[in-house]
Amino acid sequence: MKVLEAGGHSVDNQGTHSVESCDYPPICAGVGRTVRDGGADFGIVLGGSGQGEQLAANKVRGVRAALCNDLYTARMAREHNNANVLSMGARVVGIGLAEEIVSLFLKTPFEGGRHERRVEQITEIETQEFFR
């Protein structure tokens, strides 16, 4: 959070505020809803591996959460998938790399082009499944 704030970003910490084990799905869904509803441009969810956090955030309609435990997937998630929520594993990624991943994710623009069509197809699948 300090790195984000130092970079001029405002932070809405929806986290646990504790090191105790917790049920993360409602927290990650809350982050997704904040992004979906326009309260933030991007969201970040963190957990042990980042897997469950990504899955929970992706249950919110309009969220495209990407598990990015390296720089390549962070860049591709933004460039090709227009990801709007970043998920990372605290047991997988060290602090220095995590800071680099966040920075790259936030500054990488969506490439559009052929990728726009694919993101639209993903959105259409989401809509079809929602009304199923």
pLDDT in single tens digits along all 132 residues of the chain:
888 998 898 999 998 888 888 899 999 999 999 999 999 999 999 999 999 999 999 999 999 999 999 999 999 999 999 999 999 999 999 999 999 999 999 999 999 999 999 999 999 999 999 887
Residues 6+ apart with CB under 8 A from 74: 66, 68, 86, 101, 104, 105, 108
Annotation says 20 is catalytic: no
Token representation of residue 25: 């799905």
Query: What is the DSSP code string of 23-39?
Result: --HHHHHHHHHHHHTTS
Annotation says 80 is catalytic: yes
Residue of 80, 100, 115, 126 marked active site:
80
Query: Which domains occur in the chain, in start order?
Result: 2-130 (3.40.1400.10)
